[in-house]
Structure 1
Amino acid sequence: MGVTTILVQRAHLLADLDQRVRDAAEHAQGAARHRTGGATDLSYLSEEGQTTGAVAARLDPADDAGRVTAAEVVTGDGDRTVLTAAQRVALAGLAVDGTLHTRTVPGLGTYRVTAVAGEAAPVLAGLPMDHVQHAVDHMAVTEAVIAGAGLLAAGGVCAVVIRRELRPLGRVAATAASVAGAPLECGEGVRLTRVPARDTDPRTEAGQVGAALNHLIDRVESSLAGRRRSEERMRRFLADAGHELRTPLASIAGYAELMGRGAADIEPGLAWRRVSAQSARMTVLVEDLLLLARLDEGRPLEAVEVDLATLVAEAVWDARAAGAGHDWRLALRVDGPVVVTGDPARLTQVVANLLANARAHTPPGTRVDVTVEATPAGTRQVRVRDDGPGIPPALLPSVFERFTRADTSRSRKPGENGGSGLGLAIAAAITRAHGGRVTVESEPGRTEFTVTLPGAAPLSTTCECPGISARPQLGGPGWRSGGRP
């Protein structure tokens, strides 16, 4: 702005000076025409109103080089002084066409000059540029001072404003440093610092950074909490697994010791049978643990088309054979084949575990209803409902966790060995591996497990179990020949 102002002002002052030089040249031409003093007469410079420092000269009309024949300058007291030879040389060589030129005259300074021709000899007129240069220099100094002061003021204001605006970032950085220095390895009771609410305004850049950092801290705390829960579950899992394995191992060791001592009060055959039974129990437990480990690792399962209705019907028949004291009911609410894609052996294990859970935790005479249906959403569902005593509300959220047992609340048949608490956990893990889910609803007199699986393309066969079937019977409607449903 300052440079532009200076350039515009200089151009304006220079244009005004040029106009005055032209006027002086026209006045000199008129004076030369009306005065009879000869070719060197410059007496008009003595007239009133002449500008101090004004230069006038007569040029030789016969000399194309524009030789100056006479030249004078108006002094400060109004007198005239003849220019020296060197000064006249500085004015020589001008084209007599009225064009403005800038010449430096030794001892006088810089001038704007022009030469014009007329009826008399050509004349030259010039005015000093000192006042123009002085005005421009004064303006440049003034603009520089104003610009400097303005820049200093703007810099001070910007420094204050920026420092104030960056304070939230300082607090965000302090929060980040506090979180970085927190003892995250301690685990328990770690409460991470948050960015203050006033520094999380999403309308500002600093607020967006603060909000993002708070979100990150929330995620870190959630991960820490999840890790603590995972570690707790792992410790509990190891403790439960050790306890479950210790029982059969203790029994095997006891019988082995008795047989080694040759105890007379124990039959060798009975001892071997007990050792074999405990070994089988321990083998089942280890196989269940290995299955859960494989499912946790995400190992692929077999993927074939499975007729869910047939699979469930066979599982119900096996459960009826194992628990004859219960009232088993099967209902197939489908209009065609109920097909899913998955591992038939593992899906059979899911249904068998749910049926075994209903048989083991309900008294004889309990009615168990098993339903297979296809939903409008394209999924397939298997429901296992019993009218037993139900699951305690405190145990319901963890019923699918490993080694969860409800021996104290749901009755057992006398003499039945306690389970390992892995059945429902295995059922849930297998169902998740097939892209489905298993849920439970329980209250006194009604407990219902629901397995939901994604459907697959129908098989080429037709459904042999339309509608709702009654209690399974060999040879009845909806059952295949060969002794299997």
Structure 2
Amino acid sequence: MTRRSWTLRRTLVISVAALLAAGLIVSGFATSLALRSFVYERLDAQVLESLNFISGPGGAGDLYDRRGPSGGSDGSDASGGSDGTGPGQRVGSLQVILDADGAVIASAYIASDGTKIALSDAQVETLDAAGLVPRTPTTVDLGGDLGAFRVASESAGGATVIAGNSLDDVTATTDALTWILLSVSALTLIVVVVVLSLVIRRNVRPLERVAAVAEQVAEQPLAQGDVEIRERVAARDTDPHTEVGRVGSSLNTLLGHIEAALTARQHSEQQLRRFIADASHELRTPLASIRGYAQLSMGEAAPMTPTQQRSFDRIAAESERMSSLVDDLLLLARLDAGQPLRREPVSLAMLAIDAVSDAHATDSGHDWRLEVGEDAIEVPGDENRIRQVIANLLRNARTHTPAGTVVVTSLREHDGDAVLEVTDDGPGIDPAVRDRLFERFARGDHSRNRDAGSTGLGLSIAEAIVTAHGGAISVRSEPGSTVFTVRLPLLQS
């Protein structure tokens, strides 16, 4: 899932959790550094205190003056006095006294059980080679079982005194704190994420209800027909004092405006349909009268001038064309009004054969071909209207393609539908016209040759009839190949 597909709730939870995790990491790191610095300061103070004790009266200076460089190396006199009356050394501390030549006068490490253990020669050499700066604590790793120490040195009475404390306690303290911080931070992060998810879910719920209303409206077909938008955002989600409330209130206002606009559109369309139907119905009678009088005048044997003869011919032709246009407009008005069509079994194969035969008889200049299988393909519908669809598609091919064009009418079954295709190898349809080809009074005159005029209603009538039968009509075109496809649901046995 990509970042863009995240919901608002997921984005908020993850963003806040990431910020909290970053804050916990920074605070934990800062706490660890602060504690480490504090513990090191305390340890350095203890090292310097031990160094002062060893270098003071009765310490290394007196020991070196009394016993000389050959003093014992078991550390028995390096504890603060030869009589053992001085304060005891801390567990994990070490003390080393070297003479002027670097020989070991005394060395001791206080183990966890309180016993004194003399340092090995290698460990003493490591301390001597560490380049210790007087009274400056430095970390030195002695290896073995001793590990790292914080040590400091000082010259006293001709001897070099080295004191140090083990870093085991510091390491243990900082490690323990680190684990505590990690555990507390992880637990805090989990608790915060859970609580935050619940809080955000609760606060985003009004927005989800508003989105649900918008989705319900979006699923409604608003392009045509009588539309009524009943969905509205509930009053509890329209509080103008909240962001979601303002969105809900605005959506309600918008839906009201859309419903009013759609109602006005539907009313206007109904008025227009009634006007077209009434006008078409009223025009049929006078047009029939005009055509009849024209034919009556031309049928008389009375002599007429060439102008009169041509005028009567044009009157008859145009009245016939206008009558066809009126019939088409009246048919569209009835289909738009939802006038029910007949539902009876219709054999598409027989209609295709008849339509191709009629087209060949009307225009032999085109190459009319038919591809129909032996299987009977039947659909439920109005035979005359489906016949009109096929005839309109073939007439469209004849009108808008030059002579010699191959026009193929094919019929097959596919996915429970009857698929009828009319294909021609003409010049194709201009893409600018193709997108509005099924609109009323749309013409493809600019892209395809035409030998006769057309009203531009043939394809829109074909689409209206196919849609009324529960089917669909489409076109795809390029130079040398134009295909009109009609899909109609098959007759269920």
Q: TM-score, normalised by structure 1?
A: 0.48
Q: TM-score, normalised by structure 2?
A: 0.47
Between structures 1 and 2, the one with greater helix share: 2
Which protein shows a greater Rg? 1
